[in-house]
Structure 1
Amino acid sequence: MKKLLLSLIAAITLVPSSVKADEGMWFLMFIERLNHRDMQKMGLQLTAQEIYSINNHSLKDAIVQFNGGCTAELISKDGLVLTNHHCGYDAIAEQSTAEKNHLKNGFWAKTRAEEIKPSSLFVRFFVRMDDCSKRILGVVNATMTEAEREKAINAEIAKIEKENNEGGKYTVSVRSFFQGNEYYYFVYQDYKDVRLVGTPPESLGKFGGDTDNWEWPRHTADFSMFRVYADANGNPAEYSTSNVPLQPKHHLPVNLKGVKENDFAMILGYPGRTNRWMPAGGIEQNVKFAYPAWVEGAKTGMDNMKKYMNQSDALNLVYASKFASTANYWKNRQGMIDALSKFQTAKSKAAQEAKFNKWANSAANKAKYGNVVETINNYYKLTNEKSRHDNYLQQLFRTTTFGTIGRTLGKQLETYAKADAAKRAQLAPAILEMADELFKEAHIPAEKDILAAQLKLYSTKSTGYAIAPMVEKIGKENNGDFSKYVNAAFDLSIVTSKDRIKAFLDLPSEGLLANDPLVALSNDMTTHFSSKSDAIAKAQNDFGAAYRKLVEGLRESKIGEIKYPDANSTLRLTYGKVRSLPADKRNDATINNYTTLTGQVKKYKKGDQEFDLPARLLEMNKNKDFGRYADKDGSLHVNFLTDNDITGGNSGSPVLNGKGELIGLAFDGNIEAMAGDVIFDKNLQRTINVDIRYVLWVIENFSGAKHIVDEMTLVK
């Protein structure tokens, strides 16, 4: 998700009273000036300093970015981390085998010694941020091309990052906001020794599967738990048995009271990407060209993965993570198409741009802004077909391991072949390790089918923009059937088995690699994907400058209603309320802002991949065995709704009450508001959260892991 500004003085003017408090993802450093009063009116009981402080512990010290793509929170003094099940999915799958299938059966470490270290997992703590807009913008001028501008900015960014990393202790990231009109730097500290503590079985953690994804009512235990370890002094350290649980500066207390309609709710997290400043032409391009190709390409990959996943638990584990990720965005992009079309978002944006264009072409503004809208529209017209082409090709790259093999393993083998004997000795272990990882996530018969199907789709559907030359040639020679070529290529290629790779390392040959049919095909596609005509390159350069001016002009003219920058994986806060949707006969709850375990059991389908449930849960529901986690109405609440403003990357974010206590875990949005990444709808937008009481019930009562709950700070 998203937001904010240039100076503290300017910051104060950003939020007029017309902006709804539940819209926006705000920088923590501006909460006191911009949002604190509104938040207090809605139920916040914390000071701004208790949310964000550099010198004292605050809420921000308990929030981490989880493995670069999700959010998580510290919930004990011993480094216990809570995030979504789908955020921990890769790590859980990695540690699962057909014999010890933690993904399918669940897992809870009985002792700290049993906690499992995934091969690659880290959490990132936010230390501080600051405005560097004046410094960055001071090195550019209006005469620069976009490439020249980028080069100057990157050079200054490198200086800022070096000045603030304290000799490598911290990771420093300078990020652009408002399409390059403002810049802020963020200081982080990364911890890489992160271990799996526990996960519910997939039947709970992924209950509802793709059918219920982005839907309400929802009944999913979408959570998993990890622990951060550090050296004896609390500093980041590589994995070691001598490391100890991290003692965080702050951890979140857990509230057992539950929620009701209109309760205050705030969410802190790392929203990934929104496009609320996107011009009308960009929205139309996505709806008509890019997203339909994305949806079709994703579905093609999923269908071919599923054929093999259904054959055995072992094959299911190979593709479980890739399938889940593909399916998530497949449904998301179709929902975006439907929502943006239904609400005519492009039309409303075009009306805003027409108003802006009139202002821009007034005598006072014409020199700077006069051609902005025309330049933007020309760019989209020129790139519509390319966007369709690129999305078909991107889904090929995302769903088959061998689509980009030339740029990954192939590139390493090329370097090896050109190296001398000493250098080869250094490179060989890393290449073999890369091969090991590749074949853990690839089943050759499946890869053949996925690649052949994606090549056929790409070659036949990307008709408005030239396809990769080698793909075109193969298609013409085989009447659009790529199976014969793909099967032969896999049989001949040196990158389709570890034994063949070892043989190449023993007797490397640049010529052999250059003529490898899979490597050649991959290089042809990736080169074509990256290339662009001079006309498109010029249009892209002009578009970059025009888009920046559009956002600047919309803010200057006050025609633009958005008062915050787009999300870009930086820490943000969003606040709102527990808020129901209209009554839904599918939900047994008395008010449609929560769901119950009884409702979950009503969806139960024995043996169904998406809606099966453990026998123990069915029995516990029958006996109303909810323990201390039952609501005052006697039921066990599973999920609940708030009207917070979130997007991808907020998965795993803590939902907090006015005292900063944990009441839930954000994990999804509702399909009716799928246009939310582009336009916020205050009536439809909802965040779907796991009730923290359900989380604790699954851990303690269902799983028998009370020792995990005992280390938390519970508020009754």
Structure 2
Amino acid sequence: MKKIILSLIAGIMLMPISMKADEGMWFLMFIERLNHRDMQKMGLQLTAEEIYSINNHSLKDAIVQFNGGCTAEIISKDGLVLTNHHCGYDAIAELSTAEKNLLKDGFWAENRKAEIKPSSLFVRFFVRMDDCTKRILAKVNASMTEAEREKAINQEIALIEKENNEGGKYTVSVRPFFQGNEFYYFVYQDYKDVRLVGTPPESLGKFGGDTDNWEWPRHTADFSMFRVYADANGNPADYSENNVPLKPKHYLPVSLSGVKENDFAMILGYPGRTNRWMPAGGIEQNVKFAYPAWVEGAKTGMDNMKKYMNQSDALNLVYASKYASTANYWKNRQGMIDALTKFGTAKSKAAQEAKFDKWANKPENKAKYGNVITNINKFYALTNEKSRHDNYLQQLFRTTAFGTVSRSLGRQLDLYLKADATKRSQMAPAIAEMATDMFKELHIPAEKDILAAQLNVYATKSVGYPIAPLVKKIGDENNNNFTNYVNAAFDLSIFTSVDRIKAFLQLPNEALLTNDPLYALSADMTAHFSNRSEEVIKAQNDYTTAFRLLVEGLRESKIGAIKYPDANSTLRLTYGKVRALPADKRNDATINNYTTLAGQVKKYKKGDQEFDLPTRVLEMQKNKDYGRYADKDGSLHVNFITDNDITGGNSGSPVLNGKGELIGLAFDGNIEAMAGDVIFDKNLQRTINVDIRYVLWVIENFSGAKHIVDEMTLVK
């Protein structure tokens, strides 16, 4: 890996100075003022109104937030939705069984009636946004504590959201930007009847697995397809056989022209979280304390899941989604550690802060900004060890269902105990259903191993901050070997089967719940995790104020050149170009900005969980059976890279050409630029995309589902 990175840097040094990525995740409402002219110079042919309009249909009407965590796009007049395979993974896994394994074998609905509704899935359409900064900041003043400020802001937010939801028709969300120095409200409309239309087999949709994750070159069909349904009037509605496919305000035409170096590329989506203005102390805390604990805790959970996933297809389905999510962030956090360390990001941030501190302590600035850096650094020094502790505990919570059982199912049982007979009769069916759903996603022997292993890691590695009292007691009594305790706790607990939960509902007993060993252990850990000393509470208050003032001061002084707000799961636009990385012998492509089906087949390993391929793909590549989706060079392009500025949440985002036509589907970034959530690297930052022609080839030529392609608008 070191040799690869060095060769990348050496190659980049030879590139023209003008070849730089375009940093920024921009609000659509400001495109005309801030970005439109630059985008036109790069190849955009649309007006700002065609991208974002309140009164007329525009590109924004075809972009949806997918199930709260990804992005997707509408690509037909009948509400066809395209997103990543890994974004649809939960829904596909839920709809799969060992006998009919859609995740493993793939699925294409032969008609609308064959499309399948997952239990819980929604898409969110963006309607409009507006600035409410002045209104909200008028309710606060500098003498308020952070708690008082937050209360005043939340009261005003509630009013704004109520005023704009039109009696519940819309979901309204007011979000802070620039660390609470600006506020905007966003109006959305949610559709909950979303059905699976198709997915390639996992061997294509997840080709390369964890090994290729965050890497370039890539060769994966990371896509899946759904459809939005509405009532007869086009309004959101709960699932019904009478619902009809949504007629969207706008849908994306699909380009068959392909891409080449320096082609304009625009991405619209919902980036989840960046921390571009994070102080040096925060970066140092993540690199040395938080992320190493995250990585180790995640790996502990993954290893113990994998033991059981390898035993059968049925067990693999139980943990497939949780494992994939854990593995994704496990590799991401290790990449962050490596990248932030390599590029000395904390050191460069510290230099900027020293410059800011000098400005802040000038007589005219001192009263407002003088203590900003001091209070920020004090907070991180106080919480470094706690951040390590919290990340070990968070990975325990994320990888076993029993870490937080006291706050999920246990909380419901506690409320049940306190309810009267009438209320209990109403609650019992919902609690039983909750328990049934919980046990669909766990396997008791695996949960025992995961919990015991995570407790050991937590108790032995979180050494600089006190661990949860009950965990310490058990560890001290058992030399930090938690296996016997966990086995005994599972034998005695009411939380280890649906039947036991139902029995408790029949004969509720407060002592039985309070003394339940898994409930007590979970309650101990979750309470300890949430507990903060008065010293930490004060430091947190001072830090929150200081960080807000740091961002305000950096903008005022122009030291930080802050031009756009951090990502926070609101709709943004990023633009750049198709842009190659230096030549890489692992890629057979003529220029290292795309990959081919031939390259995918070269990675093929028969029977390998990550690199196996369907026999039909091997045959089609041998015969060069690419149909109408072959590139001008005669090959079938699979993935390509651009230099757009994206992050998690952009998964599934459409990659558009200058005409607003779909050319690809964003799904990943490159590990060399993994520090991108904190600092944008103009040389190394890349977005990895599925070529839309490969998507269509998989649907039509490989899978024989041409009827789905036929409902799209294809542009040659």
What is the TM-score of this pair, normalised by structure 1?
0.97
8 Å contact kept, 1:117–1:193: yes
Where do residues 81-480 of structure 1 align in structure 2 (5 Å cutoff)? 81-480=81-480
Structure 2 CA distance for aligned equivalents of residues 708 and 482 of structure 1: 53
Q: Tell me the equivalent position of 1:559.
A: 559
Where do residues 562-601 of structure 1 align in structure 2 (5 Å cutoff)? 562-601=562-601
SS in structure 2 at match of 1:611:
coil
Residues 42-101 of structure 1: per-residue CA shift (max 9 Å, x gap): 000000000000000000000000000000000000000000000000000000000000
8 Å contact kept, 1:51–1:60: yes
SS in structure 2 at match of 1:172:
strand
Q: Tell me the equivalent position of 2:7.
A: none
SS in structure 1 at match of 2:197:
strand
Structure 1 CA distance for aligned equivalents of residues 259 and 561 of structure 2: 32
8 Å contact kept, 1:651–1:667: yes
SS in structure 1 at match of 2:86:
coil
8 Å contact kept, 1:302–1:327: yes
Residue type at the aligned position of 2:147:
A
Structure 2 CA distance for aligned equivalents of residues 19 and 155 of structure 1: 47
Q: Tell me the equivalent position of 1:11.
A: none
Q: Percent identity, aligned pairs only?
A: 87
SS in structure 2 at match of 1:466:
coil
Residue type at the aligned position of 1:643:
D
Where do residues 470-619 of structure 1 align in structure 2 (5 Å cutoff)? 470-619=470-619
Residues 180-204 of structure 1: per-residue CA shift (max 9 Å, x gap): 0000000000000000000000000
Q: Tell me the equivalent position of 1:680.
A: 680
Structure 1 CA distance for aligned equivalents of residues 65 and 579 of structure 2: 27
SS in structure 2 at match of 1:241:
coil
Structure 1 CA distance for aligned equivalents of residues 244 and 695 of structure 2: 25
In structure 2, relative to structure 1, the CA distance for the partners of 1:456 and 1:376 (3 Å cut) is: same
Structure 2 CA distance for aligned equivalents of residues 21 and 474 of structure 1: 53
Q: Tell me the equivalent position of 1:7.
A: none
Q: Tell me the equivalent position of 1:56.
A: 56
When the two chains are superposed, the root-mean-square deviation of aligned CA atoms in Å is: 0.8
Residue type at the aligned position of 1:589:
A
Structure 2 CA distance for aligned equivalents of residues 523 and 137 of structure 1: 38
Residue type at the aligned position of 1:582:
P
In structure 2, relative to structure 1, the CA distance for the partners of 1:350 and 1:438 (3 Å cut) is: same
SS in structure 2 at match of 1:544:
helix
8 Å contact kept, 1:667–1:688: yes
Q: Tell me the equivalent position of 2:698.
A: 698
Structure 1 CA distance for aligned equivalents of residues 714 and 507 of structure 2: 62
1:608 Cα deviation (Å)?
0.1
1:561 Cα deviation (Å)?
2.3
8 Å contact kept, 1:64–1:125: yes
Residues 336-356 of structure 1: per-residue CA shift (max 9 Å, x gap): 000000000000000000000
Q: Tell me the equivalent position of 2:667.
A: 667
Structure 1 stretches of 4+ with a deviation exceeding 4 A read 18-21
Structure 2 CA distance for aligned equivalents of residues 562 and 288 of structure 1: 27
Q: Tell me the equivalent position of 2:6.
A: none
1:264 Cα deviation (Å)?
0.1
SS in structure 2 at match of 1:87:
helix
8 Å contact kept, 2:266–2:656: yes
8 Å contact kept, 2:208–2:610: yes
What is the TM-score of this pair, normalised by structure 2?
0.97
1:419 Cα deviation (Å)?
1.1
- Residues matched between the structures, number: 699
Residue type at the aligned position of 1:591:
I
Q: Tell me the equivalent position of 2:15.
A: none
8 Å contact kept, 1:21–1:38: no
SS in structure 2 at match of 1:183:
strand
In structure 2, relative to structure 1, the CA distance for the partners of 1:650 and 1:676 (3 Å cut) is: same
8 Å contact kept, 2:554–2:562: no
8 Å contact kept, 1:418–1:510: no
Residues 217-245 of structure 1: per-residue CA shift (max 9 Å, x gap): 00000000000000000000000000000
Q: Tell me the equivalent position of 1:45.
A: 45
SS in structure 1 at match of 2:489:
helix
Q: Tell me the equivalent position of 2:12.
A: none
Structure 2 CA distance for aligned equivalents of residues 246 and 467 of structure 1: 52
1:19 Cα deviation (Å)?
13
SS in structure 1 at match of 2:432:
helix
8 Å contact kept, 1:214–1:671: yes
1:20 Cα deviation (Å)?
6.7
Q: Tell me the equivalent position of 2:9.
A: none
Q: Tell me the equivalent position of 2:3.
A: none
8 Å contact kept, 2:21–2:682: no
Structure 1 CA distance for aligned equivalents of residues 21 and 614 of structure 2: 41
Residues 478-516 of structure 1: per-residue CA shift (max 9 Å, x gap): 111000110000000001101100110000011110000
1:562 Cα deviation (Å)?
2.8
Q: Does 1:640 align with 2:640?
A: yes
Residue type at the aligned position of 2:609:
Q
SS in structure 2 at match of 1:308:
helix
1:581 Cα deviation (Å)?
0.2
Structure 1 CA distance for aligned equivalents of residues 200 and 429 of structure 2: 36
8 Å contact kept, 2:21–2:644: no
8 Å contact kept, 2:305–2:446: yes
Is there any run of 5+ residues in structure 1 with no aligned partner, and where? 1-17
1:418 Cα deviation (Å)?
1.5
SS in structure 2 at match of 1:495:
helix
Structure 1 CA distance for aligned equivalents of residues 512 and 607 of structure 2: 49
Is there any run of 5+ residues in structure 2 with no aligned partner, and where? 1-17
Residue type at the aligned position of 2:708:
I
